[in-house]
Homo-oligomer: A and B are copies of this chain.
Amino acid sequence: MADRSQFEELARQLSAIGTVKRELARHLPGDCAPGSAAVLALLGKFGEMRLSRLAELMGIDLSVTSRHVAHVAERGWIERYPDPQDGRSRLLRVSPAGQELLTEMSARTAEVLQTYLHDWTDDDVAQLVTLFARLRASFGDCRAHGARATAHAVAETDATQERL
């Protein structure tokens, strides 16, 4: 078990990590908000899914996810069609236009990271990704609300790790 001053330092680092996120967001296309990019990235990686699952993967409330998805759908980047298994849901899927945008954004993001992290080794990045995933999982496990749903999200996270 780590000691208290370490945890305080971790809290400070977490609080300051936004700088990196914003710098990365600055390189997105002007008409694609970070939230939209996240929707496309997850649908692109995991394939079609329902809104509720997307919300779990993004770690945000269903209502917020709904707004992000509406925004992306309005621009024609995803398609929504009825879920044959549940009339209340729709399945979300990246459209051809969305795929094109996603491909371009992924390339750009990777390029920006390659520039900034040019002196990082493969292992450095892998270690950070693993610790990130584990951090999220550790928090997800203890969350008060939606224990069932959270277990699902954590499983996804683990699957993500395994693929690396």
Q: Hey, which bits of chain A sit against chain B, CB under 8 A?
A: 1-21, 23-24, 34, 37-38, 41-42, 45, 57-60, 106, 109-110, 113-122, 124-129, 131-136, 138-143, 160, 164
Contacts and interface: CB of A to CB of B under 8 A. Distances in A.
State the number of copies, please. Answer: 2
A138 B125 CA distance: 12
Chain A, interface SS category = helix
Given A9-B164, A106-B8, A109-B11, A20 B136 contact: yes
B122 A6 contact: yes
Contact of A121 (B2, B8, B136): B2
A119 B5 CA distance: 17
Given A11-B41, A17-B21, A19-B60, 10 more contacts: A7-B113, A8-B110, A15-B21, A15-B34, A16-B57, A18-B21, A20-B135, A20-B139, A116-B138, A116-B142
Contacts of A121: 1-2
22 contacts: A1-B118, A1-B121, A2-B114, A5-B164, A7-B110, A8-B106, A8-B109, A10-B129, A11-B41, A13-B129, A13-B132, A14-B20, A15-B41, A17-B21, A18-B21, A19-B59, A19-B60, A19-B139, A115-B142, A120-B138, A124-B131, A128-B131
